[in-house]
Amino acid sequence: MNTNNRNTSKNEQKKKKNDTDILDSAVKKYAKLDMTKAGEMKKNQKENGESKKKSKSKKENTKSESSKKTSGNDKNNTVRRKKNVSNSKRRQGQKNIQPVLPVRIGFLGGLNEVGKNLTVIEYGEDIIIIDCGLAFPDSTMLGVDLVIPDFTYIEKNKDRIRGIFVTHGHEDHIGGIPYLLDVVNVPLYSTQLTIGLIEAKLKEAKKLSKAKLKVISAGDKIKAGGFTVEAIHMNHSIPDALAFAIKCGAGTIVHTGDFKIDCTPIDGGMADLARLGELGNEGVLCLMSDSTNSERPGYTESERKVGESFENLFRRAGKRRLIVATFASNVHRVQQIINVAESLGRKVALSGRSLENVVAIGQQLGYLNVPKGIIIGIDAIKQYADDELVLITTGSQGEPMSALTRMAMSDHRKVSIGPNDCVIISANPIPGNEKTVGNVINELMKLGAHVVYERMYDVHVSGHACQEEQKIILGLVKPKFFIPVHGEQKHLQKHALTAQLMGIPKSNIVLTSNGNCVSLFEDDYTVTDIPAGNVFVDGYGVGDVGSVVLRDRKLLSEDGIIVVSIVLDSLTGYLVSEPQIYSKGFIFMKESSELFNEMNSRIVRITDSYSDKGRHDINSLRNKVRDDISRFVYDRTKKSPVILPVISEV
């Protein structure tokens, strides 16, 4: 047992030194070409003594304990180094090519989260961007509308960016594009539907005219600097989804985008597994694959299954009105609802702006086949009996402003819910939304509606691959390195385990996070840092909301606000009248009048002392009042309301 361990560790050490040498020579060569990289390396050298040290320590994380113990034997290093140099020379001789540069994969979003996907891939002087999504704010981001990736790294390297490639039209992949194009305006490539959805977004942001949108189809190969990017057809919960095979001097990188394998999709055909297999046979350096459902065993059901369920449920609905809530972007689901409605002689009305948009775009581009006269305006529903109608609505996630939520709260101007309604929620709550969805269901039921939701009757199938499908991709693509993407940490780790089960060595699986840049060499990888983070969009402001504003909002929401109004004589600086104190959202205790009286006299004391000294510095008076009152209120109540002194002179 012990001997074995020692042998393995020696071998691993040998491999590591070998790798470090190849890595060193490649890094040196690369650094000459790439000033950013050179800058970064200098920084690393300062911070870590030597850049390869960082690579070593990162690698060690993935090695066994025993290999750690034996690292750092200098004498052996020199010997092996020489040997390995000749080794790598020999290898280059065989291939008769220059030593390859590393390909760098930087993550600005989409790891350890589901949302705001943005990956940059760099080779030599060239960079391409894969997707640029947004995330929706969590409960700590008060008043924030959207979250987009931090574009600092892209801005710094904007002259090197050769193209933006978009896998599909979901918000977590396209939502950040209007903001990205302000930073770097390069050609953007995707399929027709995705481009259609991006166009609508840019039109709304009044940025369409300057965008360079290029429609591509699966099978197309696009040259972008030193890259050739091939589009590969995939299945997902929106039509026209792509995987990309990205070829550069370092090898081929496959990015699946979001995918599932649907053998009987509604339209567009099954994912192009044959092409992925061909690429696998040619040799793939690295695979990045969708991890969303990596905890789920088996296969994801075909979208067609949902159509069958609709057919059953619609038939059973009898005299009831049908209301189906689904994701606006799930064009195939909308198609199936329309098909079943038509076969049963019901008209379809749409509620929700995003749904109307997608249906219009889908129809215009030929992704939706809508028989004439089947869709009626929401205003026209009064003219039809309940059993002549199907309403399709947004709000399957219980979003507060959505059509379904407004119906549930009896706040929808055109639709009121009653006992003759059958509401089908054709979606599963995204983690974090369970409570809001639950609320909506409860409210609908209180109004007497019959509600069908979650796994009942198969009214929803996922758009993401389960374990067996992930295995098929791993087995076909046969990558040397594997980076699980698109998911929370638990999803990424589970996907990594699946890959190990498929025979990919643990040391070749990179679990990484936003703000990391993975440099892949022939046999090794290193990880460095790049700037990444959340940028909050609040109304029209991008990045105006920082942590200070969020803290204020949190305080306001928790402890309220106290406004102190002070009016001074502009000549003498003394109070003209008693200070006025107003509060909103602040506790109202029995003794609060006493508290306010005390505050009052403190303020009088402070302003008087300022005026006595002949000081007329309103700013410092304001700060003094704020600090004093804030401390005083905290001492008395253990609350920290926002204190807002308003000082005016007359």
Our CA angle for 245, 247, 248, nearest 5°, is 155
Q: How far is the CB of 292 from Zn ion (least distance, A)?
A: 7
- The packing angle between helices 618-637 and 592-612, to 10°, is 150
Scanning 163-171, 293-301, 424-432, 619-627 for contacts with Zn ion by CB under 5 A, the matching segment is 163-171
DSSP state of 146: E
Check: CB of residue 633 under 8 Å from CB of residue 562. yes
Q: Measured from the CB atom, is 12 or 258 closer to Zn ion?
A: 258
Scanning 17-25, 137-145, 165-173, 373-381 for contacts with Zn ion by CB under 5 A, the matching segment is 165-173
Q: How far is the CB of 287 from Zn ion (least distance, A)?
A: 17
Tell me the HSE value of 599 on the side-chain side, using a 13 A CA sphere.
30
Q: How far is the CB of 207 from Zn ion (least distance, A)?
A: 23
Q: How far is the CB of 260 from Zn ion (least distance, A)?
A: 10
CB atoms within 10 A of CB 613: 10
Per rule CB under 5 A, is residue 19 in the interface with Zn ion? no
Strands in 541-542's sheet, in edge-to-edge order, are: 146-149, 534-538, 541-542
Q: Which two tokens stand for residue 631?
A: 């401390």
Check: CB of residue 360 under 8 Å from CB of residue 462. no
Q: Measured from the CB atom, is 271 or 322 closer to Zn ion?
A: 271
Antiparallel, parallel or unpaired: β 525-529 and 516-520: antiparallel
Q: Report CA 307 to chain centroid distance, whole Å.
A: 29
**Binding to Zn ion in span 442-481, by CB under 5 A:** none
Q: Measured from the CB atom, is 351 or 396 closer to Zn ion?
A: 396
Given its phi and psi angles, is residue 560 left (phi above 0), alpha (psi -120 to 50 degrees) or beta?
left
Scanning 251-259, 525-533, 572-580, 642-650 for contacts with Zn ion by CB under 5 A, the matching segment is 251-259
Residue 412 bears catalytic tag: no
Q: Measured from the CB atom, is 150 or 172 closer to Zn ion?
A: 172
Which residue, 213, 231, 212, is CA-closest to 221? Answer: 231
Catalytic residue among 290, 421, 538, 559: 290
Q: Measured from the CB atom, is 21 or 172 closer to Zn ion?
A: 172
What stretch of H or E contains 107?
Answer: strand 103-109
Q: How far is the CB of 168 from Zn ion (least distance, A)?
A: 6
**Binding to Zn ion in span 167-206, by CB under 5 A:** 170, 172
DSSP state of 388: G
Q: Measured from the CB atom, is 327 or 525 closer to Zn ion?
A: 327
Bridge partners of 106, per DSSP, are: 120, 517
Which residue, 273, 287, 275, 257, is CA-closest to 220? Answer: 275
Biggest CA–CA distance in the chain, Å, is 92
Q: How far is the CB of 402 from Zn ion (least distance, A)?
A: 19
Q: How far is the CB of 329 from Zn ion (least distance, A)?
A: 8
Residue 464 bears catalytic tag: yes
Bridge partners of 233, per DSSP, are: 242
DSSP state of 100: P
Catalytic residue among 464, 486, 491, 495: 464
Name every residue whose Cβ is closer than 8 Å to that of residue 68 and which is 6 or more positions away in sequence.
Answer: 60
Q: Measured from the CB atom, is 466 or 566 closer to Zn ion?
A: 466
Handedness of CA 531, 533, 537, 543 (dihedral sign): negative
Q: Measured from the CB atom, is 426 or 507 closer to Zn ion?
A: 426
Q: How far is the CB of 178 from Zn ion (least distance, A)?
A: 18
Q: How far is the CB of 125 from Zn ion (least distance, A)?
A: 30
Tell me the HSE value of 280 on the side-chain side, using a 13 A CA sphere.
16
Tell me the HSE value of 475 on the side-chain side, using a 13 A CA sphere.
11
Candidate list 258, 272, 303, 538; residue touching Zn ion; CB under 5 A? 258
What is the pattern of x (binds Zn ion, CB under 5 A) and - over residues 565-604?
A: ----------------------------------------
Q: Which two tokens stand for residue 156?
A: 């710094």
Torsion of CA 542, 546, 551, 557, to 10 degrees: 0
Scanning 49-57, 254-262, 425-433, 611-619 for contacts with Zn ion by CB under 5 A, the matching segment is 254-262
- The packing angle between helices 489-501 and 467-477, to 10°, is 50
Q: How far is the CB of 174 from Zn ion (least distance, A)?
A: 10
Distance between CA atoms of residues 90 and 395, nearest Å: 62
Q: How many residues bind Zn ion (CB under 5 A)?
A: 3
Q: Measured from the CB atom, is 172 or 230 closer to Zn ion?
A: 172
Q: Measured from the CB atom, is 84 or 237 closer to Zn ion?
A: 237
Distance between CA atoms of residues 287 and 413, nearest Å: 49
Return the active site residues: 290, 464
Q: Which residues contact Zn ion (rule: CB under 5 A)? A: 170, 172, 258
